[in-house]
Amino acid sequence: MEKPVVGIVMGSDSDLPVMSKAAAILEEFGVPYEMRVISAHREPDVFFEYAKGAEARGLKVIIAGAGMAAHLPGMCAALFPLPVIGVPLYSKTLGGEDSLYSILQMPSGIPVATVAIDGTKNAALLAVRMLAISSPALLEKLKAYAGKQCEAVQKKDARLQEVGYKEY
């Protein structure tokens, strides 16, 4: 098993169904990752150990997902000196807007790159793009991925032209 370069961390196992989509993308690109459930609120000491040790463990990017008063990504960015991508997770009471604003509105000096609510796939693709800055092989894979998406849309349009919207 290769040493992880991306850390996927989430505040609760209830976040796992959404956060696992990041793992699937990283697997598709062959990027080694570690995945943890760690709560900044409920186990602050465990969280500090995780985030403070992340650079020494070899992580280059952290993808942190959290819901509600979502401090996890911001606290990762406070303790880990490399890029942190925050994923605001949907919450029942406020529909994820609470998570979104908690993660997005970071005070100046501690950046968190925030993706859409439940935007785990884009978080992983952004992490791959960051790693591709120094990896020509990953850059080629990203170009191929974009090419496949383009083909998929063209096929859909071709079918629409062929059968019309009623039969589509």
Give me the least distance between CB of 106 and ligand RP5, in Å please.
17
Euclidean distance between the first and the last CA atom of the chain, given in angstroms as a whole number: 44
Dist CA 14 CA 166 (whole Å)? 39
For ligand RP5, give the closer residue by CB, 46 or 150: 46
What b/e readout covers 112-133, taking b as 16+ CB neighbours within 10 angstroms?
Answer: bbbbebbbbbbbbbbbbebbbe
Dist CA 128 CA 122 (whole Å)? 10
Give me the least distance between CB of 68 and ligand RP5, in Å please.
5
Q: Which stretch binds ligand RP5 (CB under 6 A): 60-68, 102-110, 136-144, 147-155?
A: 60-68
66 forms part of the interface with ligand RP5 (CB under 6 A): yes
39 forms part of the interface with ligand RP5 (CB under 6 A): yes
Residues that bind ligand RP5 (CB under 6 A): 10-12, 14-15, 39, 66-68, 89
